[in-house]
Amino acid sequence: MKNDNIHHAEAAAAFLQDREQARWHDSAIWWVRQKRDMQAKQLPEWEQLRALAQQIKAHTLSRLDDYLLQFQANAEKNGVTVHWAADADEHNRIVQGILAAEGVKKLVKSKSMLTEECGLNPYLEQHGIEVIDTDLGERIVQLRQEPPSHIVMPAIHLKKEQISELFHRELGTEAGNNDPTYLTHAARANLREHFLTADAGLTGVNFAIAETGGVVVCTNEGNADLGTALPPIHIASMGLEKIIPRLEHLGVFTRLLARSAIGSPITTYTSHFHRARPGGQMHIVIVDNGRSDILGNDDFYQSLRCIRCGACMNTCPVYRRSTGHSYSYIIPGPIGSTLGPSRDIKKHGSMAFACTTCGSCSNVCPVKINLHEQLVLQRKRAFDAGTLKPAKKMGLLAMRFLTQHPSLMDSGGKVMRKVVPIVPESLTRHSAWSRPGRALPEMPEQSFKEMWQARQKDKKA
C-alpha cells in the first residue's frame, strides 16, 4: 500500500536528486516505448486495430450490466463460483473466506493491480495467511515492503545492485553477484518451492469473456500458470470493466496488449481458464470499488476502457522523470492520474498536475482513451476542491487573470522580455528556475502574437 499524502512534485524532486539513477530510469523506459513503436510499425493495420479495440470496449461499457450477467451465467455453467464485491473491503473478506474455509496457509499470487488497490496482502497476513507474490518484479518489491512503481514493470525503479543485496539477505544468494541471469534463476528456484507447497493460487484477470464465462491471464513468466495448475484452488480477482463480449474479440486485444506494453508481439503465456482443475475449485471475484461511479461520469468514464498495458506511462515525460513512487495513487502515470483523482480528488489532486499536456499518452493508448484531456479536467477539480499548494494556486490565479485581460498580458510579456535577461542571478536563486536541470530560457525579441501577426502580414503581401 502507498503512504498517504504523497505530493507528486515534492516526491519527484527527491527522486531527481540521484541524477544518474534518474537518467537511467528515463532512458530504460523510453526504450520500452521505442520497442512498442517498432511493433506498431510492423502492422499496417495498427491504427484500425486501435479503433476496433476502442469500439469493442465502448460498446461493452454501454451495457456492462448485461455482459456481466451473461458472464456470470456462463461461468456458473462451467462450475465456477462467482462472487460480487462492492468495495475493497468486501473483496478482501470474500477472498479470506474462501481461503479460511479450506484451511489455506499459503497463497501464491500472480500480478494483480486490483489486489494492490484493495490492500489484499496485509489483510490476509493479518489473518494468518502467508502471501507470496510470484511475478519476479512483484516479489522484489514485496520483499522490500514497497509498492510496485509501474503496473507492468513493478521494480523498474531499482538497480541490480539493490536487488542483489536484497536477494543476498532474503534468499541467500552470493554477496556482490549482480548478474541478472544468476539473480533471476535464484528467485526461480526459491519460488518453485513455494508453487509446489502452496494451498491456493490467486491471479488477476486481463480479459473476462461474457460469451464463454472464462477469464484470460497474460504473463511472460508463467507464474499465473504454475500458481493455478498446482494448488487445488484458483481465485481470479477482476475489476468489473475487464469484460469483453466474445471470444473472437481476443483476436483484437491479444494483438494490442503485449505490443503496447513491452514491444513484444504477444506474452509468452496467454492462458484461458474456464473450469477448476480436476478435484479443485475455481472462484471469480467481480469487484466494483468505485468503478460504477466513474461509469456515470461523462468526463471520465472512458478511463474504464483501460487494459492496463502501461504504454501511457512509458511514453510520459513526467512519469519517466519521476518514477511511479511519486504518484499518490497505486496506479501511476497518465491513467493513474485520472483514476486516482476520480476516486478521491482531495488525496490525489497533485497527480492531475503530473502532466505537460503533451498528449503523447492519448496517442499511444491502444484503446484510445482521451487521457490528457481527462487530466486537464481533473486539474479543474483539484483546483475547485482546494487541494493545491498556495504557490501553485497563486500562480494559476495570476495566469487566469492575465488570460482574461489580454492587454495586460501583452504589456506584461513585453516587460518580461526586456527585464528577465538582466535579472541578477541572486534574484532567481530561490525560484523554480534555479533547480538542477533548469535554466532560464532565452527571451525572444517578439511575442508569439507579434510573430504571428507579422507572418500573417507576410502571407498576404
Binding site for ligand SF4 (CB under 6 A): 260, 306-312, 335, 364-367, 369, 371
Residue type, 81: T
Could you give the C-alpha distances from 96 to 1, 92, 102, in angstroms and in order? 18, 6, 10
Pick between residue 23 and residue 59 the one whose CB is nearest to another protein: 59
Pick between residue 155 and residue 364 the one whose CB is nearest to ligand SF4: 364
Phi, psi of 298 (to 5 degrees): -55, -35
Pick between residue 226 and residue 304 the one whose CB is nearest to ligand SF4: 304
H runs (alpha helix) in 198-271? 223-229, 250-262
What residue 423 binds from ligand SF4, another protein, none (CB within 5 to 8 A, per partner kind)?
Answer: none
Q: Does 243 bind another protein (CB under 8 A)?
A: no
What residue 402 binds from another protein, ligand SF4, none (CB within 5 to 8 A, per partner kind)?
Answer: none
Cα(127)–Cα(105) distance, integer angstroms: 10
Pick between residue 349 and residue 366 the one whose CB is nearest to ligand SF4: 366
Q: Does 221 bind another protein (CB under 8 A)?
A: yes
What residue 62 binds from another protein, ligand SF4, none (CB within 5 to 8 A, per partner kind)?
Answer: another protein
Contacts of another protein in 172-191 (CB under 8 A): 180-181, 183-185, 188, 191
Residue that has been written with the C-alpha cell 515525460 in this structure: 317
DSSP one-letter code for 100: H
Cα(428)–Cα(435) distance, integer angstroms: 10
Residue choice 22, 52, 118, 233 for contact with another protein (CB under 8 A): 52
Residue type, 263: G
Pick between residue 139 and residue 150 the one whose CB is nearest to ligand SF4: 150
What residue 308 binds from ligand SF4, another protein, none (CB within 5 to 8 A, per partner kind)?
Answer: ligand SF4
Q: Does 43 bind another protein (CB under 8 A)?
A: yes
What residue 73 binds from ligand SF4, another protein, none (CB within 5 to 8 A, per partner kind)?
Answer: none
| DSSP codes of every residue in 4-73 | TT--HHHHHHHHTTSHHHHHHHHHHHHHHHHHHHHHHHH-TTHHHHHHHHHHHHHHHHHTHHHHHHHHHH
| DSSP codes of every residue in 104-168 | --EEEE---HHHHHHTHHHHHHHTT-EEEE-SHHHHHHHHTT---SSSS-TTTT--HHHHHHHHH
Q: Does 265 bind another protein (CB under 8 A)?
A: yes
Q: Does 85 bind another protein (CB under 8 A)?
A: yes
Residue type, 424: P
Q: Does 78 bind another protein (CB under 8 A)?
A: yes
Q: Does 359 bind another protein (CB under 8 A)?
A: no
